[in-house]
Amino acid sequence: MSELISYHLEDGIATLTLNNGKVNAISPDVIAAFNAALDQAVTDRAIVIITGQPGILSGGYDLKVMTAGPKEAVSLVTAGSTLARRLLSHPFPVIVACPGHAVAKGAFLLLSADYRIGVDGPFSIGLNEVQIGMTMHHAGIELARDRLRRSAFHRSVINGEMFDPQTAVDAGFLDKVVAAEELQGAALAAARQLKKINMTAHKNTKLKVRKALLETLDNAIIQDQEHLG
């Protein structure tokens, strides 16, 4: 499939493993690989598990691209927001098995999935954009508004507060935390449980539940293209 995203299909479960350097930066090539892997998962009618390397899911967008110029930054953010929208409307369940840190776009991957499992440990999960001098984009704000607990939303988006795995559950980034050695087994168990549901009902219900969010994201992506450009 790709060196950046490996694709492993077994028993109707497709595991997509992000592998792009020590922080698993999200670059245009990574997003292209993500989309190709998701295309394959649809063809395979597979439950999707997204994961990373031990200790990290992703540290966010590739800063080399983000600082190359406005055009490059807008293109990457647009592609990333469009990927989030695709994950939110994916016709089969999407699980994220987060093996450690998930920062900025890494945390937005968590907010784009149907079920999120993290690992216990000294890991940071959250949206650090304002910490590093980036004004949060409209699509990111709307995704966080929808998926985070109300009490955590402002602290996360406006204050750049980071969470450890346990408090990330309360905030809304994660659904469950397990020991690191249990992550793969827990993700597979969740996937096997989700295989039992009716996929047509899952897809149609997901689209009903997220109809307003998806429409809001469509508008936000356009706003970001105009604002960032």
Pair of tokens at residue 209: 């539940």
Pair of tokens at residue 80: 């990333």
Q: Could you tell me which residues are beta bridge partners of residue 115?
A: 95
pTM: 0.96
- Type of residue found at 229: G
- Give the chain's domains with CATH numbers: 5-182+195-228 (3.90.226.10)
Alpha helical stretches, state H, the chain: 28-43, 63-66, 70-88, 105-111, 138-147, 150-157, 165-171, 183-194, 199-209, 211-228
pLDDT tens-digit series, residues 186-201: 999 999 999 999 999 9
CB 80 within 8 A of CB 31: yes
pLDDT tens-digit series, residues 206-217: 999 999 999 999
Range 202-229 average pLDDT: 93
CB 109 within 8 A of CB 87: yes
CB 71 within 8 A of CB 79: no
Q: Which of 159, 112, 162 is nearest to 140 (CA)?
A: 112
